[in-house]
Copies of this chain bind each other. A is one copy, B any other.
Amino acid sequence: MTSTGHDVNSDALVQSPDSKHPANLICSLCRQFYGHGWVTGTGGGVSIRHDKHIFLAPSGVEKELMQPEHIFVMDYASREYIRRPLALKSSACTPLFLAAFTLRGAGCCIHTHSQWAVLVTLLCEAGMQGRKGVFEISQIEQIKGISRGGTGSTEIAEGGRKLGNLSYFDTMRIPIIENTAHEEDLKESLEKAMLEWPETCAVLVRRHGVYVWGKDVTQAKTQAESLDYLFQLAVEMHKLGLKWT
C-alpha cells in the first residue's frame, strides 16, 4: 500500500486554515449531516474532487467527530491514495463516488442513509406509490432545486436535450437500484443507472439510502437537501392518502 511511492500520511494535504478547503468542508458537512439524521452510526459518506485530488471521509469514524486528519486523499488520475491514515479503513463508497466524478463530471458526491430515502424505496418496492425501479414526484416547488444530470453542466448536453434545473411542471424521476451485500458491489448497477438516466442527479439504493452529486459542494449539498425534503414529503403524503404524481 505504500509501494506507490507517495507519502501516505502527508498532513499538508488536509491541514488548512481555510474553511473552504475540501478537508475542512468534509468535516463541517459531516457534522451538519449528522444533525439531519443522514449519517447515523457512521453510515453514509462524502467525497470532494478538487484539482487533481479526491478527498474522502473514511469508514467507521463518527461523522460528527470527523477531523481533517481522518481524511483520505486519492490522486484522481492514478486512483492511488496519496494520503491514507494508517489506523483507518477507506470508505467502501469510494468506487461509487468515483462513478459520479467520472461519468457525471461531479465535484462532490454525498451518500446518506436518510430514513426518508429508505422509506420511499420501500413504498415503490411494495407497489404502493411510484414504480418499482423509480421514485417519481411532480408539481412540488422544491423540484426546482434539482438540476438535470445533477451538475447542470452544459458539457453533458446532447441531441438538443434541455439543460439546467427541473421546472415545476416536470416530473422528477430518481432511479432505484437493488442493494447488495457489500457496498462496493453497487458500482456496476449504479454506473448503469447513471448511464440509463442521464437527467438524474441521484440514485436511490433500495433499503439503504441515496447517492447525490453536484458540480461542486454547494450544488451537491443543496440537491441532497431538496431531495430529502421531497422524500420526506412523499412519505407524509402517502400517510395522508395523497398521490405523488
Tell me the A residues contacting B by CB distance below 8 Å.
Answer: 37, 40-43, 62, 113, 115, 118-119, 122-123, 126, 128, 139-142, 145, 167-169, 179-181, 205, 207-209, 218, 221-223, 225-226, 228-229, 232-233, 235-242
Contact = CB atoms under 8 A, between A and B. Distances in A.
B237 A119 contact: yes
B242 A122 contact: yes
Copies in the complex: 4
A139 B179 contact: yes
A115 B228 CA distance: 11
Contact of A240 (B119, B145, B218, B222): B119
B235 A240 contact: yes
Contacts of A140: 118, 207-208
A48 to B, nearest CB: 16
B238 A240 contact: yes
Contact of A229 (B40, B205, B237): B40
Nearest to A139: B207
A181 B205 contact: no
Nearest to A242: B122
A226 B141 contact: no
Nearest to A61: B218
